[in-house]
Amino acid sequence: MTPEDFAAAANVSRETLNRLMEMDRVLTEWSARHNLVARSTLETRWSRHYLDSAQIAPHVPAHARRLADIGSGGGFPGLVLAAMLAEKNVRVTLIESTGKKAAFLRAAGDAMGLANLEVIPARIESTTLAAPPDVVTARALARLDQLLGYVHGIQGKNTRALLLKGQDVEAELTEAAKSWHMDVKRHPSLTSPDATLLEIAGLRPLT
């Protein structure tokens, strides 16, 4: 998949594509020195990483003004969403505890000219946000029961979680249901028949 193929599939503007191509330039440079994403996936990154991340954007509610991406790593999905949501005045906070990855996120965000971006170089468990996010996102971070603990730690009353999960999603949902109450919607992945985008609301621990 080329950047132009991605732009057509994700329905992004030329300005957004230009920002993402700046991200890609920085990602490629940094990947020569740091393991931001699996190097075996770099050749297919526009479908494997960029489009996989971009599919979250249409599920972000129109009223959302704050989005927090946890464990942002190489910028997927957080940086991609920050670029796509910049024109909608959505403030995106990236939470990443690994120093080199947080430095990459800042460098890429600067290159992309994103004014709606904040990077917090800290562990999720010790992060306190100025205001609860409307949306929390994550990709390839942890098993669902642990991931929901992270979401619960920063969420507000009406926060919605959009979480990309792989082929073990049903087993993870079964396990998580032992500890959490949640309203779940499943959206088929656009990039893999084995993956699912989970939309979770009403999250609270079982008592």
Residues paired with 181 in a beta bridge: 204
Dihedral angle, C-alpha 129, 132, 134, 140, nearest 10 °? 50
pTM of the model: 0.93
**Domains delineated in the chain:** 3-205 (3.40.50.150)
- Distance (Å, whole) CA 166 – CA 161: 16
pLDDT tens track, the chain, 207 positions? 999 999 999 999 999 999 999 999 999 999 888 878 877 777 889 999 999 999 999 999 999 999 999 999 899 999 999 999 998 999 999 999 999 999 999 999 999 999 999 999 999 888 888 899 999 999 988 899 999 999 999 999 999 999 999 999 999 999 999 999 999 999 999 999 999 999 999 999 987
- Distance (Å, whole) CA 23 – CA 74: 10
Residues paired with 124 in a beta bridge: none
pLDDT of residue 107: 96
- Distance (Å, whole) CA 179 – CA 136: 19
pLDDT of residue 140: 80
Angle at 66 between CA 53 and CA 122, to 5 degrees: 75
pLDDT of residue 37: 80
pLDDT of residue 34: 82
